[in-house]
Amino acid sequence: MDFATALRQRRTAGRVSQLELAIKAGTTQRHLSFIESGRSAPGRGMVIRLAESLGLPLRERNELLLTAGYAPAYPETPLDSADLAPVMAALTHIIDAHMPYPAIIIDRYGEIIAANAAQQILAENAARHVRSNAYRLALHPEGMAPRIGNFPEWARHVVNNIGAALARNPDDRLAALHAELSSYVPPARPATDHLGFAVPLQLSTSRGELRLMTTITSFATAVDVTISELRLEAFLPADPETAAALTRQS
């Protein structure tokens, strides 16, 4: 795929008009039209501004630069690199401070990079082969699934979020994972008893029946691809009984 086509596809996928993108990127609609038609070749700085203006993930910005014939602008540092040790130490401190509630750090594929001690309540009785991936742990029949009281609704929420990420940034590995996870999820039952702001996780555990909300934090200001794709998923009690159970047993 050439750069003109790649840019046009990303702009239309984001439902951004040529005029909107041109204004955000500091150029004219006429110039952008020439770029999208292949009549004008943008400089490296313009490609970066266009990618930033579209709000593309860092990995996709690098891909757009490569398509235009330029070197990637954003590094992708291995997680085990000494350069990322301070970052990982800070993240570990954050999830440990979240005790007595579960918290994990995952990558773009749901692989668990770090977890606090309370995460073990989620992995109770789960098969070893599903424990390393948060999505499989949540939805696989040998993971948390048998213990989730509202599995169809909550699982659909998880799968839909992965599908949305896949739509924003197509990826063969993520697509295969999405297809696998979708096969575990039955059709959602019509629900009329929950009108809150989030789908709670209703989980049977050794500490009793828990109701948990999830919050997901991303690192939007990161300039390294690896860090930008990490997610911190923290679980919070959705009712006083759950808070008391987790606090009492900590």
The string of pLDDT tens digits covering residues 69-105 is 999 999 999 999 999 999 999 999 999 999 999 999 9
Amino acid found at 52: E
Nearest-angstrom CA–CA distance, 244 and 250? 10
**What is the DSSP-derived secondary structure letter of residue 27?**
S
What pLDDT score was predicted for residue 196?
Answer: 47
Q: Are 105 and 122 in contact, with CB atoms under 8 Å apart?
A: no
Domains in the chain (CATH in brackets) are 3-67 (1.10.260.40), 82-248 (3.30.450.180)
What pLDDT score was predicted for residue 221?
Answer: 78
* pLDDT tens digits, one per residue of 36-48: 999 999 999 999 9
Q: Are 167 and 179 in contact, with CB atoms under 8 Å apart?
A: no
- Omega within 30 of 0 (cis) for the link into 72: no
Nearest-angstrom CA–CA distance, 205 and 165? 30
User: What 3-state class would DSSP assign to 30?
Assistant: helix
49 burial via Cβ count (<10 Å: 0-12, 13-18, 19+): middle
Phi, psi of 59 (to 5 degrees): -60, -40
Q: pTM above the 0.75 mark?
A: yes
Amino acid found at 205: T
Nearest-angstrom CA–CA distance, 76 and 83? 11
Tokens of 246: 């987790």
Positions in the chain whose pLDDT score sits under 50: 194-196
